[in-house]
Amino acid sequence: MKKFDIPERYKSPIISKVKAARKLEDPMKKDFSPTTLNFGNVSFIISRHFGFCYGVENAIEKSYKAINENQGKNIFLLSEMIHNPTVNADLLDQGLRFIQDTEGNQLIPWDEVHSDDVVIIPAFGTTVETQALLESKGIDVQTYNTTCPFVEKVWNRSAKLGADDHTIIIHGKHKHEETKATFSHSKETAPSLIVKDLDETQHVADFILGEIDSATLLDKFKGKVSPGFDPEKHLNRIGVVNQTTMLASETQEIADFLKQTMLKKYGEENLKPHFADTRDTLCYATNDNQSATLALLEESADLAVVVGGYNSSNTSHLVELLEEKFTTFFIKDSDEILDLDSIKSFNIHEKNITTNTSFVPSKDNVRIIITSGASCPDATVDSVIQKILNLMESPLTIDDVRI
C-alpha cells in the first residue's frame, strides 16, 4: 500500500512502535486480537486497527501539498477535511479557510471564491452541484481533490446499478457530507433513497409488501429521496450501498433484510432481477477497525477510552460497540482527562459532553482499552496514554515495556 507523506507531529513514539511490531508479525492483517502494554500499575489494551486510514492519509498529504505549493494564494477547504478537531485546527492555523461548515451552512460567500484560488475537496467528496459550481468559476477541481477512493468506489457501484435500472438504497446519515455527496452522484443515474438504520428500512419493506401506501412512505422519507421518486415504479429493483463510515454489520443487516423482503414478494426463482448483491462497497478500514473493536469485546478490562472527533461517524460506531460491555469514555484528546477521578466524555446518544467523576478505579493494575477513529492522529492517542501514565505515576516507560 502507498506510503503517504504526513507531518511528523501526527506520529507518536508509543503507537508507532505498536503498529510497527504488529505489521511485522501479522503483515496480512489476519489477527484482530489487541496488543497489551503493561506499565506495572496500568495496562493498555490497544486495538489491532485504528487511526488514519488510506483515505485520510491521502487527504492530509494533498492538503499540506496544497499549502506548500501555493504560498500567497487563498486556499479554501469546502468543509472540514476530516472529522477531527486536531487536524482541522492545524490546517486553519496554516491559513486555510472553510467555505462551509459540516451542516452545509455557508461560511464564505461563493462570490468571494475566484478562479485563481485553490479549493481542496475533502475526503468525503462533494456533490455534483458543488463541483459544477466550482468548474463554472474556472477553479481547478482535480489537483487537490482528496475524495477517498473507497467513497468513489461507492459512486461507481451506484452508477453501475443505475445503468442496470436498479434503485439505490443508501445506508447513511442524510446530513453527513459523504452521504450528501453519494446521494448527489447516485441520483444522476438512478432513483435514490437514504435510510439511516433498520427501523427506517422497515418502512421501505412495509411499502414493498403492500402494508403502507406511496404517500405514507414519501412522507416518512421527505428530503431523503431523489426528485420524482415514485415508490410504485422505483422499489421493484434495488441495490444497497453505504456511507463508508457506517457500521458494516448494520449495512449488511439492512441489505439482508431487504433481500428477504424481495424474496417474500417475488420468490426465490425471481429474486436475482430484483435485488443486487453489493457487499463490495464496504470500506476495508471501517471493516478492519470494527472487527478489531469486536475483538476487544473478548477482553477483560475496567474501562474503554475511544479517541476522536465528536462529529466522526466511524468513531461513534466504535463507541457504540464498546459500550455494550465496558464503561466507555469518548474523548477528543487528552485535555478531556482532568485527573484520575474526572474525565469529560461525549455522550453519543444525548449528543452532549458530561463530566464523569468515576474515571480510573483504584486497584493494583487497571486495564484500559484504547482505540480511535480513522481520522484521529496516532499522536493524539499517544498523548492520552501518556497523560494517564503521568497521572498514575507509572513506574515504567515505553522503553521498559515489551511489545
Helices 198-208 + 248-266 axis angle, to 10: 10
Radius of gyration (C-alpha) of the chain in whole angstroms? 23
Handedness of CA 334, 340, 346, 348 (dihedral sign): positive
Instruction: Enumerate the active-site residues.
Output: 178
Residue 164 burial (CB count, 10 A)? 12
Residue 203 burial (CB count, 10 A)? 17
Using CA atoms, how far residue 245 sits from 113, 115, 152, 210, 216, in Å, is 30, 33, 13, 32, 29
> CA 231 to CA 215: how far, in whole Å?
9
- Decide if 107 contacts 116 (C-beta within 8 A): no
The letter for the amino acid at 133 is: L
DSSP assignment of 35-54 equals EEEE-SSEEEEE-SS-S--H
Q: Where are the alpha helices (DSSP H) in 125-167?
A: 128-136, 149-163
Question: 400: number of CA atoms within 13 Å, CB side?
Answer: 7
Using CA atoms, how far residue 74 sits from 96, 318, 328, in Å, is 8, 37, 42
Residue 375 burial (CB count, 10 A)? 30
- CA-closest candidate to residue 314, choices 337, 292, 343, 338: 292
DSSP assignment of 241-253 equals EE-TTS-HHHHHH
